[in-house]
Amino acid sequence: AALTLLVVFLIFADISEIEEEIGNSGGRGTIRSAVNSLHSKSNRKQILKFLDAEKDISVLKGTLKPGDIIHYIFDRDSTMNVSQNLYELLPRTSPLKNKHFGTCAIVGNSGVLLNSGCGQEIDAHSFVIRCNLAPVQEYARDVGLKTDLVTMNPSVIQRAFEDLVNATWREKLLQRLHSLNGSILWIPAFMARGGKERVEWVNELILKHHVNVRTAYPSLRLLHAVRGYWLTNKVHIKRPTTGLLMYTLATRFCNQIYLYGFWPFPLDQNQKPVKYHYYDSLKYGYTSQASPHTMPLEFKALKSLHEQGALKLTVGQCD
């Protein structure tokens, strides 16, 4: 009970600190500050010392062959064999080779997006990154529709598509994949052994139905590189979340980065409850002790970059 109290206290302490700053910044809940190119540039330079985003965003065909054995990053004792299907879907060149964008949006999945009206603003960015196949159609007013890259942790297949137990769920996933319409589908296939079959199911579906997506499978060193960068900056994250991975990668190819849907707190700035995800009923407690993530700590780091003008965080409504 004492531990729970402490956790609750820490969460609220964090929120009131953030609220103070929002209060000072004015506006309708959006933390205001222009993204400063100079700060973005120096940030990018630092990150580049740790990772080569163009390469680390995906393993390429030339570097693996069917039958190769890979040790999972988080379960070093478990291995997987590179299947023929996975091999087929590895890109020949980096999906972001020589790419550069003026402004990018990274859309996290917090319920803070609900009633934000941010859809249009998000869609106006040159490159839009989304996480974990989050639905867009039904929430377009708040989250937009444009998707240039979307991530898919294998666990999504279980959580959002009932592990494809029957034809209906397989069809649902297939429709979602078809709707991606040429975007990059980024699948962390080598992180944890639990996702083995799920990755194979998705690969099979894509090939069998000629789904128009550009698949990417992050390199084995990406996670260590990202962790290394943040640790050097005294952000002691256990396991970076998808959102933080995306931000870190995006610094390489985006001049200005705008974050939406990053709010790992159970209450909003007006003390109203916020859903953990804008689209499902997963509870906030999901991120607490049992989770490998340290989202509030990540948020603090991102907020500090926002204050320096290196990125822009929107945590309320858009104008």
Summarize as ranges the residues that interact with ligand CTP (CB under 6 A). 108-110, 131-132, 153, 155, 241-244, 261-264, 276-277, 293, 295
Are the beta carbons of 144 and 122 closer than 8 angstroms? yes
User: What is the Cα–Cα distance from 127 to 139, expressed in whole angstroms?
Assistant: 19
Residue of 125, 277, 293, 306 marked active site? 293
User: What is the Cα–Cα distance from 160 to 242, expressed in whole angstroms?
Assistant: 17
How far apart are CB 314 and ligand CTP at their closest, in Å?
Answer: 12
293 is catalytic: yes
The sign one gets for the Cα dihedral 136, 138, 139, 141 is positive
The sign one gets for the Cα dihedral 255, 256, 261, 267 is positive
3-state secondary structure 118-140: CHHHHHCCCEEEECCCCCCHHHH
Q: How far apart are the first and last CA of the chain?
A: 42
**What are the backbone angles phi and psi of residue 59, rounded to the nearest 5°?**
-70, 140
How far apart are CB 240 and ligand CTP at their closest, in Å?
Answer: 8
253 vs 299 by CB, closer to ligand CTP: 299
Nearest residue to ligand CTP on Cβ basis: 243
How far apart are CB 10 and ligand CTP at their closest, in Å?
Answer: 16
44 vs 277 by CB, closer to ligand CTP: 277
166 vs 270 by CB, closer to ligand CTP: 270
82 vs 129 by CB, closer to ligand CTP: 129
How far apart are CB 2 and ligand CTP at their closest, in Å?
Answer: 25
Question: Catalytic residues, which ones?
Answer: 293
